């Protein structure tokens, strides 16, 4: 089976009703990154950060995958599909994709603020973490999210996966956050690269096939293209 590697970003979940970060009306217009997505923000105001991610988790209980996610899960019939997502939602898994890695963490998990390997799954209907909820060693639980300024532990694994791709599909990301955005450059010479996004990213290399569409329509088109592989 040919290896199809997918790098997805916030745009793939937009049609499910989850806001992107940098579009107008995006999350980073309402909140300051420094306040809710950095270790310094956490040290300054744990309550604000905890509330922010509690809201994100609550929203997750109310949304469903769209055809962008579902169409990629369907492609597992004919391709070895590996998803690398920058998203912290669980919509790829909910749609049925079986191989998903989350570069920037997962909303459905929390971890010890002191011991990064003490990671806990939240039960599916639980969305709230409170200040005072502790790990087994007595330290506060924090979101299992990679914040700005923190290392991205899965980046090497992701680069390795991209370097083995026959086809790379980049979907719904502004490609503005590194190191994730740099993954594109790990694709081998003969790898076909598709980029699905209604707007497009700056400095997209000219060897990338740009499908200027939203995720649902774009994945439908990708399925058609891949029928001929």
Q: Could you list the active site residues?
A: 104
Distance in Å, CB of 1 to ligand OAD, minimum: 26
List interacting residues with ligand OAD (CB under 6 A).
9-12, 14-15, 20-23, 26, 37, 86, 104, 146, 172-174, 176-177, 197-199, 214-215
Output the six-digit token pair for 170. 């980049």
Task: Indicate the residue among 86 and 90 with the shorter CB distance to ligand OAD.
Answer: 86
Question: Which residue is closest to ligand OAD by CB?
Answer: 11
Distance in Å, CB of 12 to ligand OAD, minimum: 6
CB 192 within 8 A of CB 165: no
Q: From CA 167, how far away is CA 151, in angstroms rounded? A: 27
Inter-axis angle of helices 215-227 and 67-74, nearest 10: 20
CB 171 within 8 A of CB 150: no
Distance in Å, CB of 225 to ligand OAD, minimum: 17
If we measure between CA atoms, which residue out of 112, 68, 86, 33 comes closest to residue 211?
A: 68
Task: Indicate the residue among 58 and 199 with the shorter CB distance to ligand OAD.
Answer: 199
Task: Indicate the residue among 179 and 188 with the shorter CB distance to ligand OAD.
Answer: 179
């Amino acid at each position: 089976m040919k290896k199809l590697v997918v790098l997805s970003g916030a745009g793939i979940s937009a049609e499910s009703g989850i806001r992107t970060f940098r579009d107008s009306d995006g999350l980073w217009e309402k909140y300051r990154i420094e306040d809710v997505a950095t270790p310094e923000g956490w040290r300054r105001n744990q309550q604000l950060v905890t509330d922010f991610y509690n809201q994100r988790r609550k929203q997750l209980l109310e949304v469903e995958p769209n055809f962008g996610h579902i169409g990629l899960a369907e492609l597992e019939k004919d391709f070895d599909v590996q998803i690398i997502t920058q998203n912290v939602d669980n919509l790829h898994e909910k749609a049925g994709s079986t191989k998903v890695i989350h570069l920037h963490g997962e909303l459905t998990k929390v971890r010890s603020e002191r011991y990064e390997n003490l990671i806990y799954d939240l039960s599916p209907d639980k969305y709230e973490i409170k200040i005072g909820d502790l790990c087994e060693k007595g330290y506060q639980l924090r979101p299992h999210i990679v914040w700005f300024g923190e290392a991205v532990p899965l980046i090497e694994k992701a680069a390795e996966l991209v370097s083995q791709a026959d086809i790379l599909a980049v979907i719904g990301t502004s490609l503005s956050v590194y190191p994730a955005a740099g993954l594109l450059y790990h694709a081998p010479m003969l790898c076909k690269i598709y980029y699905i996004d209604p707007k497009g990213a700056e400095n997209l290399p000219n060897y990338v096939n740009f499908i200027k569409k939203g995720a649902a329509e774009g994945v439908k088109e990708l399925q058609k293209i891949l029928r001929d592989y």
